[in-house]
Amino acid sequence: MPIKRLKKAVPAPAPGRPPLDESQVLAKATVRAADFLEIPSATLARILGLSEASISRLRRGQYVLTRGSKEFELAVLFVRLFRGLDALMGSDDVASRSWLAADNLALHAKPIDLIQTVTGLVDTIAYVDSRRALL
Question: Is 14 among the domain residues?
Answer: no
Question: Is 109 among the domain residues?
Answer: yes
Question: Is 8 among the domain residues?
Answer: no
Question: Is 11 among the domain residues?
Answer: no
Radius of gyration in angstroms for the set of CA atoms belonging to the chain, rounded to a whole number: 15
pLDDT in tens, the chain (135 residues): 555 555 445 555 566 666 668 889 999 999 999 999 999 999 999 999 999 999 999 999 899 899 999 999 999 999 999 999 999 999 999 999 999 999 999 999 999 999 999 999 999 999 999 987 665
Question: Is 4 among the domain residues?
Answer: no
This prediction's pTM:
0.83
pLDDT at position 101 is 96
Alpha-carbon gap, residue 127 to 60, rounded angstroms: 32
pLDDT at position 21 is 84
Alpha-carbon gap, residue 68 to 14, rounded angstroms: 29
Domain count, the chain: 1
Domain span holding position 66: 22-132
> Between helices 52-59 and 41-48, what is the axis angle to 10°?
100
Q: What single-letter amino acid sits at 60? A: R
